[in-house]
Amino acid sequence: MTETADRALDEDVAALPLTDHHVHPALAAGLAPHEFEGLLTESDRPVPPWMTQFDSQLGMAVRRWCAPVLGLDPFAAPGDYLARRAGLGPAEVTRRLLRASGIGHYLIDTGYLADGMLDLAGMQAASGAAADEIIRLESVAEEVLLAGDGTAAGFAGRLAEALAGRVPGAVGLKSIIGYRHGLDFDPEPPAAAEVALAAGHWLRQAELSGQVRVTDPVLLRHLLWSGLSHGLPLQLHTGFGDPDADLRLGDPLLLRGFLERAEPHGVPVMLLHCYPYHRGAGHLASAYPHVFLDVGLAINHTGARAAAIVAESLELAPFGKVLFSSDAWGPAELHYLGALLWRRATAAVLGRWVADGDWSRADALRVAGMIASTNARRVYGLE
Ligand SMILES: [Zn+2]
């Protein structure tokens, strides 16, 4: 074996440019310690006073890997980390972590924002990277409802108009039917009369409650099929997320009927997160030419165990079907760690297969590059 063939993959994988195909903006506002800890978990409940979220895989990874980016020793104590973070200020912390991630292109889901989050131009300026938009279908529907002045019968038309206005500036669309209803939905597109009836019910409910959140499965299915008609890659939330989603209904295998009906449209369907159902997602990606997957989000939350998930995501799925994502939302630690932990896990997994003689080093690096960026650039048609 030559010296080059023998060298660990780490450095080469660390140097790969990344295209993050599913990510949210960084939060460039200051965070109180409890707010920061609250963003190290997908739970929407306060962290109990007797415990700290730093005692988790993600918390450990922050201390190990983010501390040096802020000029501290690895494994800095949580209090020292938070003090340093506050001392540098949120803009500088965000800038350092985004730039250290090596993510060269962000495809940003702009549908779920908190105060102080960077917009697309802000993400570009802070990171020095490119940023494009993924439009969340449910958010467009809710904007249409908030714009008011409409009848239930006209909802579908107003939605189509709003989508036609937004789509040209975006590189993909996203549905969170997995959050709002679950993936066990009727796979057929709903009839126009059903949509008008459901829109009427939704309008009345919104007037009574002041809440515009779309949860009606008929409307969610209509959004999904409307999105599909635009031809852009369609992202679907599956698997792991906050407790708002019923994880039992997040199994992408529930999407089989929809995927088969969508197949003739030729639109790539991107299964996001997938964990803990990523092996089933791998089966779908192997069975259907238009299905792709990522294991973002779980990588951050499983930290030192991320290699196991990366390895499992490369069982059945053809390698051209797997994409890198950080699914970071909020503190730029999540953008940085999403990239770093993916690189470490990928180098460890592929490096093992090279060492065992199952893969060549050149193939390992080529496949890592596909997942890092080239698969996303092909699917989303990025320049
Ligand atoms: Zn996500």
244 confidence band (pLDDT: 50, 70, 90): confident
CA of 72 to the centre of ligand 1 (A): 30
pLDDT over 80 (residue 94) = yes
CA of 184 to the centre of ligand 1 (A): 19
CA of 356 to the centre of ligand 1 (A): 34
Asked if residue 181 lies in contact with residue 237, where contact means CB atoms within 8 angstroms, the answer is no
pLDDT over 70 (residue 38) = yes
The pLDDT score that the predictor gives to residue 7 is 73
Of residues 204, 209, 258, the one with CA closest to residue 234:
258
CA of 298 to the centre of ligand 1 (A): 10
pLDDT over 60 (residue 309) = yes
Element containing residue 363 per DSSP (H, E)? helix 361-369
CA of 328 to the centre of ligand 1 (A): 8
Average pLDDT, stretch 119-148? 95
Average pLDDT, stretch 224-247? 94
The pLDDT score that the predictor gives to residue 131 is 98
C-alpha 369/C-alpha 372 separation (Å) is 5
pLDDT over 70 (residue 149) = no
Neighbours of 364 (CB within 10 A): 22
The pLDDT score that the predictor gives to residue 3 is 44
Q: pLDDT for 182-231, tens place per residue? A: 999 999 999 999 999 999 999 999 989 988 999 999 999 999 999 999 99
Burial tier of 149 (Cβ tally within 10 Å: 0-12, 13-18, 19+)? exposed
The pLDDT score that the predictor gives to residue 146 is 83
CA of 381 to the centre of ligand 1 (A): 21
Phi then psi for 31, rounded to 5 degrees?
Answer: -125, 130
C-alpha 106/C-alpha 22 separation (Å) is 8
Indicate the average pLDDT of the chain. 95
CA of 207 to the centre of ligand 1 (A): 30
The pLDDT score that the predictor gives to residue 8 is 82
Of all residues in the chain, the percent with pLDDT exceeding 90 is: 91
CA of 272 to the centre of ligand 1 (A): 6
CA of 297 to the centre of ligand 1 (A): 7
pLDDT over 60 (residue 2) = no
CA of 159 to the centre of ligand 1 (A): 24
- 243 SS3 class: coil
Asked if residue 314 lies in contact with residue 368, where contact means CB atoms within 8 angstroms, the answer is no
Of all residues in the chain, the percent with pLDDT exceeding 70 is: 98
CA of 219 to the centre of ligand 1 (A): 21
CA of 197 to the centre of ligand 1 (A): 30
Neighbours of 48 (CB within 10 A): 8
pLDDT over 60 (residue 6) = no
CA of 360 to the centre of ligand 1 (A): 33
